[in-house]
Amino acid sequence: MPSEESKLTMYPMDYEEFRWALGDTATVDLLRMFLEKMKPLGDAAHRKLMRDFRLYMLVGGMPQAVSKYLETNNMAEVDIVKREILSLYEDDLMKLDESGKSSAIFKAVPSQLSKGISRYQVTTVLPNYAPSKVYETIYELADSMTVNVVFHSDDPKVGLALTKDTSRYKLFLGDTGLFVTQVFMDKDVTDNVIYEKLLSDKLSTNLGYVYENMVSQIFRASGYELFYHTIKKDDGKSYYEVDFLLSKSNKLLPIEVKSSGYKSHTSLDKFCEKFSDRIGKKYLVYTKDLKKEGDILYIPIYMAMFI
């Protein structure tokens, strides 16, 4: 799908490759060792590691963006490069689909996620198209690696692909750095003040979905197909939702992602109660230090690559 010109933008660096680009060859191995020993990093080390990881989230893994960061250490300059990449994506999408469906679906990813809804609502983006009518478009976007598709699993089992609902899915961008730029597309350039607040985790906007986007990117880089599951609540209107389901060996790994408020994990609890005989390890990916409480493993997001 992508033009020859934009193929270089298609494969984001994973976190280990990003650290290598910054001249750091030790951190990822150190994180793996701490996880294997189930040893917390401690407050000071954890704060630094989270700041380092948020830098990766903001710059992203696109080689051009990483090169510009290394050259300038200026996030506004990096943002210009990311906008150029997004513009190339737009050109490619319009060449692929002159009707504009692909482009509209792609551009609406942040707004769809910000609504906190349990699926991508195609009809709010393309009023004349039911989900079944854009099935091929969604797969083309996924194949291009511009988006990551997370399908709903209707009856979660180890063979998750056998139970996926192709009309019910969430979309995330393939690169979280591009996603951050897309979130702030209402500005001509995302300035350094906004990036610094994001880097310091001080921006008031609820950006929990940015962390979900990052986790989807990590899991896809690890080779996982992505699924999620919802359980209808007693009110018959809202749902408990497990953000990601992975299949490993002969068990399911349910994963809930929290950017805050991690002490409550009702969705994870409800899922594990309903499917107790199918569950392996239970994970809560969050922004605090490594710990285990009961049978839930609390993983800082910079360790999610090891799941």
pLDDT of residue 204: 64
CA distance 246 to 232: 21
| CA distance from start to end of the chain | 31
CA distance 281 to 271: 13
Entry field: residues in the chain: 307
Stretches in the chain below the pLDDT threshold 70: 1-10, 203-206
Both tokens assigned to 285: 């990916």
**Could you state, in order of their start, the residue ranges of all structural domains in the chain?**
4-306
Q: How far from chain centre, in Å, is Cα 39?
A: 26
148 contacts 220 by C-beta, under 8 angstroms: yes
pLDDT of residue 196: 83
Both tokens assigned to 165: 């609902």
CA distance 227 to 223: 13
Residues 93-129 have pLDDT tens digits of 888 888 889 999 999 999 999 888 889 999 899 998 8
CA distance 202 to 196: 8
CA distance 82 to 210: 16
pLDDT of residue 67: 97
Triad 21, 180, 30: Cα angle to 5°: 40
**Residue 23, class by beta-carbon neighbours within 10 Å (0-12 exposed, 13-18 middle, 19+ buried)?**
exposed
Enumerate long-range contacts of 122-129, CB under 8 Å, 24 or more apart: 126/101, 129/101
Both tokens assigned to 71: 């050259």
pLDDT of residue 10: 60
pLDDT of residue 203: 65
Residues 12-50 have pLDDT tens digits of 999 999 999 999 999 999 999 999 999 999 999 999 999
